[in-house]
Structure 1
Amino acid sequence: MKTLKPFFIMLLFIAIANQLSAHAVWIETAANGKIGQAQDVKVYFGEYGQGERDKVEKWYSDLKDLTLWLVGPDGTKTQLPTTIGENASQASFTPQKDGIYSLQISHKSKDLHEGTQYEFLASSHVFVGKTSSQIDPASSNNELQVFPLKGTSWKAGTAVKVKVLHQKNAKAGSTVQVFSPSGWSRELTTAEDGTVSFIPLWPGKYVLEASNFSKDPGEANGNQYKALWQGSTYSFEVKK
């Protein structure tokens, strides 16, 4: 039995690692906003494709202390105060001008797992009034980004082109997971230019997820890590 104990411990570590990489942080907010009207924002941790939104008390490490940033149409970056609910970190902001507002999260967890640093990234956009149909990736400082290339709205049955950037460069061969509100999901691989397309079949909120794993050592939160796992999400609304 003694020889089996290390084996079961190893399986436990693998299970924990798989659970963390399957889980993600994502942002939910209405796709369109109005000047002078408060825009509610919620941040979840769990598995969107399974309809699982974990209670905050079960969030990994210090995720509940994540920072939510708002980048306005003029490039002004503001930290949004958050409050903790039962299963979400909540915030709000009030648009003061037309344009595209970017919501962003980049959080490196306080705790390492087997020497691996986990970084949870998320973004979403709010479109107010007349805006450009092109999302500007330069508005985000997130090292890993996944986002739809064009459009302030997307329709069911119409192809959506998605791009993945890592350190501002197109990431070829990256796996993109697409989760729909119906529970349908699909796994796609980006082309040389970092893009991939899919057709949303149902209206509702979709979540895109891309990940990156690096064995380059580094330092975060005072910890020296041997490897870095990054998971990045983007949520957007598909209409009928």
Structure 2
Amino acid sequence: MKRLLSIALLTLLATAAQAHYLWLAPSTGGTALYFGELQNELKEKSPGTLDKMKNVKASTSSGAVIVGTMQSEQIYYTHPAKEIAITVAQEELPVREGHDDKIMTKSVLYARLGQGGTSLPLDLQMTGKQVQVIYDGKPLPKASLILYSENGWQRSLHADDAGRAEIILPWAGRYVLHVKHSLNTPGTFAGKPYTVKNIITTLSLVQP
């Protein structure tokens, strides 16, 4: 019985870890990067799981590369206030085997705050109240998105044939718009083969 409970717990933890994503938030004098789940008030910490994000790459709207400082529950980036767009990329995560399906998977995480600056392989571009999902420089039709709020609310959205969807922020506060694109194209990373590549991007939004 104890062994079964242990297996169930490990499976639950693995599922939770797979649901994690990166997101950015304005902070005094700069920008903070978090790893976890905004809607569940979950922010991974250092020492701990957040340390897996220590090699993320970050850049500003002018294209300048910035280096963050690891703190207890965030990676903090200092930059001039005029740099209104920040993007980060974590492309170095190791290949992992799925606990249920045993599929070897490579995950890549991106996050954006503001528009402009460095384009991401899977990007979210806002125009007014409409977002467009861009993959490899082209609109991604029928993309599935999730809008998360810091109060636990969430809403599923579906892009049209042009990769566009309307975004409505019901009340004041912070939101994270999340999109995931899976590629069933085998590849190799760090000498380890994988069958599926998951690309996850978030765009941070604020309703005053």
Band the TM-score falls in, shorter-chain normalisation: 0.7 to 0.9
Alignment match, 1:79: 65
Which segments of 5 or more consecutive residues in structure 2 lack a partner in the other structure? 98-103
Aligned length: 200
Shift of 1:14: 5.7
Q: 1:17 to 1:215 in 2, by over 3 A?
A: farther
Shift of 1:220: 3.2
TM-score by length of 2: 0.84
Alignment match, 1:132: none
Alignment match, 2:113: 124
1:158-209: CA deviation from partner (whole Å, max 9, x where unpaired): xx21211111111122111101232211011111111111321111211100
% identical aligned pairs? 19
Q: 1:112 to 1:12 in 2, by over 3 A?
A: farther
Specify which of 137, 142, 152 is matched with residue 173 of structure 1: 142
Alignment match, 2:26: 29
Alignment of 1:145-184 (within 5 A): 145-150=123-128, 160-184=129-153
Q: 1:91 to 1:67 in 2, by over 3 A?
A: same
Would you say the 8 A contact 1:25–1:45 is kept in 2?
Answer: yes
The aligned amino acid for 1:211 is: K
Would you say the 8 A contact 2:40–2:150 is kept in 1?
Answer: no
The aligned amino acid for 1:119 is: V
Alignment match, 1:59: 49
Shift of 1:222: 4.5
Would you say the 8 A contact 1:62–1:109 is kept in 2?
Answer: no
Alignment match, 2:100: none
Alignment match, 1:47: 37
1:201 matched to 2:166: no
* Structure 1: distance between partners of 2:164 and 2:11: 31
Which segments of 5 or more consecutive residues in structure 1 lack a partner in the other structure? 31-37, 126-134, 151-159
Would you say the 8 A contact 1:24–1:45 is kept in 2?
Answer: yes
The aligned amino acid for 1:24 is: Y
Would you say the 8 A contact 2:95–2:189 is kept in 1?
Answer: no
1:140 matched to 2:130: no
Shift of 1:228: 0.6
Answer with 86-95 or 220-229: which moved more.
220-229
Would you say the 8 A contact 1:147–1:162 is kept in 2?
Answer: yes
* Structure 2: distance between partners of 1:176 and 1:231: 10
The aligned amino acid for 1:145 is: D
TM-score by length of 1: 0.73
Alignment match, 1:33: none
* Structure 2: distance between partners of 1:61 and 1:228: 22
Shift of 1:219: 3.2
Partner secondary structure for residue 84 of structure 2: strand
Alignment match, 1:190: 159
Would you say the 8 A contact 1:17–1:113 is kept in 2?
Answer: no
* Structure 1: distance between partners of 2:80 and 2:51: 31
